[in-house]
Amino acid sequence: MSEMFKISLPDGSVREMPAGSSPADVAAAIGPGLAKAALAARVDGELVDLTRPFTGDASLALITSRDEAEALDLARHDFAHVLAEAVQALFPGTQITFGPSTDDGFYYDFAPKDRPFTDDDLPAIEAQMRKIIAADKPLRREVWDREQLISRWKQQGESFKAEWAAELPGDEPLSVYWSGDDWLDMCRGPHLPSTGKLDPAAFKLTRVSGAYWRGDQNNAMLSRIYGTGWLNKKQLGEHLTRLEEAAKRDHRKLGQEMDLFHLQAEAHGSVFWHPNGYVIYRALEDYMRRAVLKADCKEVKTPQVMDARQWEQSGHWGKYREAMFVIPDEVPNTEDGGPLVSNDADWMALKPMNCPAHVLIFRQGIKSYRDLPLRIVENGCCHRNEPHGALHGLMRVRQFTQDDGHIFCREDQIVEEVRNFCALADRVYKDFGFTYAIKLALRPENRFGTEEMWDMAETELRNAVAAAGLNTPEYGWEELPGEGAFYAPKLEWHLTDAIGRTWQVGTIQSDRVLPERLDASYIGEDGAKHRPVMLHRAIFGSYERFIGILIEHFAGKLPVWLAPVQAVVATIVSDADDYAGEVTGQLRAAGIRVETDLRNEKINYKVREHSLAKVPHLLVVGKREAEEGTVAVRTLGVEYQKVMTLAEAIAMLVHEATAPDLLQA
C-alpha cells in the first residue's frame, strides 16, 4: 500500500492523497469545476505549479481567477514567456534574456540577430502569441543540472542566458519550463498549467524601447517589448480606457495648453515656471505655510551647498553619492586634464535632502527636555542627479522643493506627534479631494542602526496609526517588508486620484540613526544628555510632483482658489468695453485673479479659447449687462449660463477663491 499524505484545506477539512499526487489531483478529487478553474496552488504558503508533487503532509490553497492579485501576476508572467516564444518563432536567431511581470502587464528583453525591433513588429508578434495560446501548450517544469543547462544555452547561441545561469548564486540545480515539447526558458516559476489558460483577447503589446543588459550602460543594448495583460477582455478594455483618459490628463500636455511651465535641455530636469504656473506654486506654498504654522511649526531656511564631510557623517555620502551634484573646491586645468579634487574632503555637494542641515540647527545652543518637541519646517530646494531616462515632466525632476519638516522629540512624545501629523495630513488631502491608503514601510536589508532601534521605531509608528484610527481596511492599511529608508521605517500616504491611479506622496519616518550619527542631544530631566528622536515628515512630498498630480487629478480644471486665472471678463460687443473694465476693476479690488478679453471676436470663439485654458469662470458682458449692472456667468464644465448682479458674482468668486483652511477657520 502506497504512503498517504494528509492535505489540509482552507475550510478545515483534510484529504488523504497518495504519495506522488499534486494539487491538480486534489482539485480533480474535489470536482471537475474546480479542476478546470484551478490555476496554481499555495502549498504550506509557497506559490507552486498545480503539478508540483507533494513531499509530505501539507496545507493547500488552490488559486483560481477569484484570487485576482495572484492570478494576474501568474497570467502576466506567462504572457511574457509566450511573447518570448513568439519572437523567437518569427525572428530566428534572436536571443532571449529576462521577462518579468509588472504592475499592469509584462515585458521581455531580446537581443535581435539583425536589427532592433520597432513598434511596426508588434502586430505580427501579437498574432503569433495568439497562435501559441490557442495551441493550449502544456507548461511543464523540469530541474536541470547547472552545467548541463549552461552547455545547452551555449550550444543554442544563447550567450545572455548562459552568462546569467553561471552567475546565479548557489550551486543548486536550476528550473526550466517547457512550452509544449519545443521551447523552453529558464525560470523559477510558477506558471499556469498551459498557455490555453490565458485569454487571447486580454493582452496588448504597447511599445518597444531600448534597455541595457542587466541595466548597465556598459553592456549590450537590447530591445525591450512591453505589453499589458489581464485575466479577460473586459479588464483589458477598462485598462485601455484608463490609459486614454490618463493621456488626456497628461500634465505635460495640459501644462502647455494652460501655459504653466516648460522644460528644456539648457536646464535638463529642472522646471521653468511661467507666470500662470508660479501662481499655482505660490498658492500651494501659502496654503502649506498656514497649515504648518497652525501646527506650531517654525519655518527655517538652510544652505544649498554643504561640505562632503557632513554628508559622509550623516551616511548619505555612501548611499546617495552617485545621485548628488558634487562641487570641487579645485577647478581642473582644462589644458592638462588634471584631477578635479585630491580627496573627498575637498568636495562640496548640493543638498539632495534637508535633514542633516536641520540637525545642525537643532545643535545650535543647549536644548532641554522642556524645549521638546521642536518642530521645524522648510520649503527646501534639493537637487538629485536622476538618470536621464527616469526624468518625467514634473513627476521626476533633478531640482525640486520639498515641504520638508523635522520634529525633534522625546521617546514619550513620539506617538502623539505622529498621531497629530496623521490628522494634519488627513485634513490636507481631503482639502484637495483625495482619498488615500496608509502603509508602513519596514526595515530594509541594508540599514543603519540596531535591531532594538528598528523594533522601537516600527512599534511606535504602528501605535500612532492605531491611535489615529487609520490602521483599518478603510484606509488600506498594509505593512511593506523591506521598503523603509536605510535609517528609519516610514508611514506612507498613497493618494487615489480621479481615475483610480495611486500616488505615494506624504511620509513620516521615526529616526534614531541620524541624531546618533550627527551627535544631536538634549539635557533630560535627570540632568544627563539624551538623544532626541527625529521624525522626518512631508505632506506634498515635492511641490513639482504634487502640482503634476493635481493637474492630472483635476484634468486641468483646478479649484478656483488654485486656478492661475480665476475669471475672464469677455465682451460680446465693443459698446460694453467700458463696463468690462469696471467689472474687472471691482474683481481685482476684491482679490480675484482676473483678465479682460476685449478682442473683436465672436463670443463662442472666446468661450472655446478660455475653456481650453481651463479658466473656471467666464463673465460675459454686452449692452444689456452694462445697462442692468449684471454679468452672464459661464462656469467651466457647465452647459448653461447664469445671469447675476455684479455684487452676487463678486461674492461667489471671493468665496470660491478662498483657500480651504481659511474657509474652515
Point out the residues that are catalytic: 355, 384, 402, 404, 406, 490, 536
The phi and psi torsions of 520 (rounded to 5 degrees) equal -90, 135
Q: Locate cell 449660463: which residue?
A: 641
Using an 8 Å Cβ cutoff, are 204 and 235 in contact? no
The DSSP annotation for 377-392 comes to EEEEEEE----GGG-B
Is residue 199 within 8 Å of residue 76, measured between CB atoms? no
Residue 509 CA to residue 442 CA, distance in Å, equals 10
Distances in whole angstroms, Cα of residue 567 to Cα of each of 279, 620, 649, 655: 14, 10, 10, 13
Distance CA 469, CA 35 (A): 43
Cα radius of gyration rounded to whole Å, the chain: 31
Can you give 219-238 as a three-state secondary structure string?
Answer: CCEEEEEEEEECCCHHHHHH
- Which residues on adjacent β-strands are paired with residue 48? 41
How do beta strands 14-18 and 46-48 pair?
Answer: unpaired
- 14 in helix, strand or coil? strand
Contacts of residue 287, defined as CB under 8 A and 6 or more positions apart, other chains included, come to: 431, 659, 660, 661
Q: What is the spatial distance between Cα 152 and Cα 96, in angstroms, rounded to a whole number? A: 14
Rounded CA separation 253/575 (Å): 37
C-alpha angle 225/229/230, rounded to 5°? 180
| C-alpha to C-alpha distance for 473 and 470, rounded to whole angstroms | 9
DSSP letter at 531 equals P
Nearest Cα residue to 283 out of 582, 631, 550, 641: 550
Query: How many C-beta atoms lie closer than 10 Å to residue 325's C-beta?
Result: 15
The DSSP secondary structure of 467-484, one letter per residue, reads: HTT--SGGGT-EEETT-S
- Residues facing 204 on adjacent strands: 228
Q: Strand runs (DSSP E) across 497-542, as ranges?
A: 502-511, 522-523, 529-530, 533-538
Q: How far apart are CA 2 and CA 7, in angstroms?
A: 16
Whether residue 117 contacts residue 107, with contact meaning beta carbons closer than 8 Å, is answered with no
What is the per-residue DSSP string for 315-351? Answer: THHHHHGGGS-EEESSPP-TTTT--S-SSGGGEEEE-
Grid cell of 269 as nine digits: 530636469
In this structure, are residues 460 and 415 in contact, taking their beta carbons and an 8 Å threshold? yes
The C-alpha cell at 602 is 465672436
With H, G, I as helix, E, B as strand and everything else as coil, classify residue 26.
helix
For 39, residues 6+ apart whose C-beta sits below 8 A from its C-beta are 50, 63, 64, 65, 71, 74, 192, 193, 197
